[in-house]
Amino acid sequence: MPQYQTKVETDVIVIGYGAAGGTCALTAARHGAGVLLLEKAPEPGGNSLVSSAMMIYPKQVEQKEQFVEYLHQVTHGTTPRVLVQTFVDGLLQNPQWFQDLGGELEVYDYKLSDPSLSYYIPDKTFSQLPAARNLNLELRRLKQTDSVPERTGGARVWNLINRNVRAQDNIEVMTGTAVVEIVKNDLGQAIGVIAEHAGERFFCKARKGVVMTCGGFEYDPELKTQYLRPQEIQASGWPHNTGDGVRLAQKVGAQLWHMDAEASAIGIRPEGWEAGFVLTVRRPGFIYVDSDGDRFVNEARLEAHNAGASIGEFNLPTYKFSRLPSFLIMDEENGRGAPLAMDIFSYNVVVKGYKWSADNSAEIAKGWIMVAHDMAELSRITGIEQSALANTLGGYNAQARAGVDRAFGRPPETLKPIDPPYYVAKILPLMYNTQGGPRRDEHARVLDPDGKPIPHLFAAGECGSIWGFKYQTSTNFSETIVYGRIAGTNAANLPAIENFNSPQLR
C-alpha cells in the first residue's frame, strides 16, 4: 500500500505563490495545462507583495546588447551570459505582458517623489564598469490606476496577477500547504510533491512538471549563518521565507548557486518584530558609526541594496563584526523631522499596516529612536567610549563646517554639523531577499551537480535567482516575471509522464 494517498492530480505543480509562482501558473494554464499552486503561508503573496516592484530598463531599446553586457559584468562570472541574455529578452516583453493582464508600466523617479540622502539608488548601481559607459537606464513600475489602486508597487503587481490567476478555471490554489519533498520516479523525473496540510501528508501528482518558486532564506538562522557574511543580518520582507527551496533542492539532488548573494538596506528591527523597517534620512545632519565609534562609509552614497556588504565587513585585527551593531546618529532636524522609515515597501508596511509617525514621535516614545542630550548620555546609549564618540563627531563636524569630507568624500551639500540633542538608532542590514537556491539554465530547468537538467523540474524567482555576486538595483522583480513565464511555458509543453513508480511513495 502506498505510504501517501494521492490527493490531487494535475499537469503542473507550482511550489510557492508570489509573483514568480503566479506568473508561472498563469502562463502554464494559458498553454492549456492544469495547475496546482501550493503556498505554505495562510495567505499568498511572498516578497513580491511587500516589495516596491521597481524594474530597471534601458531607456533606448538600441542599447539592449550593451545592457546585457553590463548585467553580465555585474555578475562577475557567476552567471552564464545566456541566462542574462534570456532575462533581457524577456524584460523587453514585460510591458506588453502587463498590458495583457490589465496594467501599465510607467517611468518612476523616486528622487523626485521622495528625496532621500541615505536611501541612495542610482539607476546604474555600478557605473564604474566598462559596459556602463553611456548606458542610459530608467526605473519603471506598475502605474496606479482604478483597476490597480493599491498604494505600493508590489501590492499592485501582486493583486493584478492574483486576479488573473483566480479567473483561470484550470488553476487550483491551496494555501497553508507546505511541500516537504519533491518526488522523482525511477527515471529521475519530477512527478509531483509530498505536501502537508493541517497535519496530514499526501501526494500531489504532476503529469508534466514541478516548478520551484518558493522564495529565499531570509528568516532561516542556520542558512544565514552558514552562507551569508553578516551573521546578524535580518530582513524587511516576507517572514515565511525560511529556506524551503534550498532544502527541497538538496533532497532532490539539485546543484546550489549564489548562496552568498543577497540584497539589503540599512534599517532597524525593534524587539518583538519579525521584520524590520528600512530607514531613510532626508536631511544632512547624520552619520553612521560602528561599535567602536568610527565612521566607516560615505553615508550619502551607500547604495540601498549593498548594506550587508558594508556593515557585514569582518574586522580581522579584532576578530569581530565591528559594524554589528552600528548606530545612526543624527541631529534634531532629522530626529524630529520627516518620517525615518520607508513606506513604499516592507512586510510591516504592506501586511501589518504599520504607519510611522510624521515626526517620529511615536517611535521615539517606543524607544526605537533614542535621545541623548550630551556626549555622556550618547556613550551610555550606544555602549561606545565617550572619547571615541567625541573624536568622531568632532572630526565630522569640523569637516562639515569646511564643506569637505576628507575621510569618505561625502558631497558638500549632504554635510551638516551634528549638535545635541543627538537622536540615535541601532542599525543593521535588512534583507529584501536572498538570491541563492537551485541552479537553473536559460530554460528555467533545475540542474544537478553535473550541470544536467533534472527532468521535469523547473525554478523561477528568488529561489535560485540568476543574480550572483553583486546586485544591480531593480532586477529581481523583473526576473520573477521573465523566468516565471519561461518555467510555465516549458513545463506546460512537456510530454506527459508515464512512469509514476517511486521509492519515495512506497
Over residues 141-154, the pLDDT tens digits come to: 999 999 999 999 99
* Claim to verify: residue 425 and residue 462 sit in the same structural domain: no
Residue 322: pLDDT band (50, 70, 90) is very high
Higher pLDDT: 310 or 106? It is 106
Q: Each residue of 469-479: pLDDT tens digit?
A: 999 999 999 99
* Claim to verify: residue 228 and residue 272 sit in the same structural domain: no
Last residue of a domain, one of 431, 455, 482: 431
- DSSP H helical segments within 359-448, as ranges? 361-365, 375-382, 386-402
Residue 136 lies in a domain: yes
Last residue of a domain, one of 393, 416, 431: 431
CA atoms within 13 A on the CB side of 205: 17
Residue 366 lies in a domain: yes
Residue 239 lies in a domain: yes
**pLDDT for the residue 457:** 99
Q: Each residue of 233-278: pLDDT tens digit?
A: 999 999 999 999 999 999 999 999 999 999 999 999 999 999 999 9
* Claim to verify: residue 249 and residue 290 sit in the same structural domain: no
Q: CB of 157 within 8 A of CB of 104? A: no
* Claim to verify: residue 304 and residue 209 sit in the same structural domain: no
* Claim to verify: residue 141 and residue 197 sit in the same structural domain: yes
**pLDDT for the residue 313:** 87
Q: Each residue of 159-196: pLDDT tens digit?
A: 999 999 999 999 999 999 999 999 999 999 999 999 99
**Which cell numbers hold the place of 498?**
508515464
* Claim to verify: residue 368 and residue 338 sit in the same structural domain: yes
* Claim to verify: residue 19 and residue 68 sit in the same structural domain: yes
* Claim to verify: residue 76 and residue 149 sit in the same structural domain: yes
* C-alpha distance from residue 189 to each of 206, 210, 441, 478 (Å): 10, 10, 17, 29
* Claim to verify: residue 424 and residue 278 sit in the same structural domain: yes
Q: How far is Cα 209 from Cα 445, in angstroms, rounded to an integer?
A: 10
Q: How many residues does the chain have?
A: 506
DSSP string for 169-202: TTEEEE-SEEEEEEEE-TTS-EEEEEEEETTEEE
* Claim to verify: residue 287 and residue 256 sit in the same structural domain: no
Q: At residue 2, does pLDDT exceed 60?
A: no
Residue 101 lies in a domain: yes
**Would you state the torsion angle of the CA atoms of residues 392, 394, 398, 403, taken in this order, to the nearest 10 degrees?**
40
CATH code (residue 378): 3.90.700.10
Look at residues 237, 303, 310, 306 and name the one whose alpha carbon lies nearest to residue 274.
237
* C-alpha distance from residue 462 to each of 1, 47, 212, 214 (Å): 38, 9, 10, 8
Q: Give residue 452's domain range.
A: 6-260+435-505
**pLDDT for the residue 1:** 38
* Claim to verify: residue 201 and residue 269 sit in the same structural domain: no
What number is the average pLDDT over the span 206-213? 98
**pLDDT for the residue 230:** 63
Helix-then-strand count for the chain, H and E: 16, 20
- pTM of model > 0.85: yes
Residue 1 lies in a domain: no
Residue 199 lies in a domain: yes
**pLDDT for the residue 109:** 85
CATH code (residue 501): 3.50.50.60
What number is the average pLDDT over the span 16-43? 98
**pLDDT for the residue 110:** 74
CB-CB neighbours of 426 under 10 Å: 17
Q: For residue 2, is the peptide bond before it cis, meaning its omega torsion is within 30 degrees of 0? A: no
* Claim to verify: residue 418 and residue 452 sit in the same structural domain: no
Query: Whole-number mean pLDDT of the chain?
Result: 96
Last residue of a domain, one of 415, 431, 447: 431
Residue 157 lies in a domain: yes
Q: Each residue of 396-445: pLDDT tens digit?
A: 999 999 999 999 999 999 999 999 999 999 999 999 999 999 999 999 99
Q: What is the domain count for the chain?
A: 2
Query: Quick check: helix, strand or coil at residue 284?
Result: coil
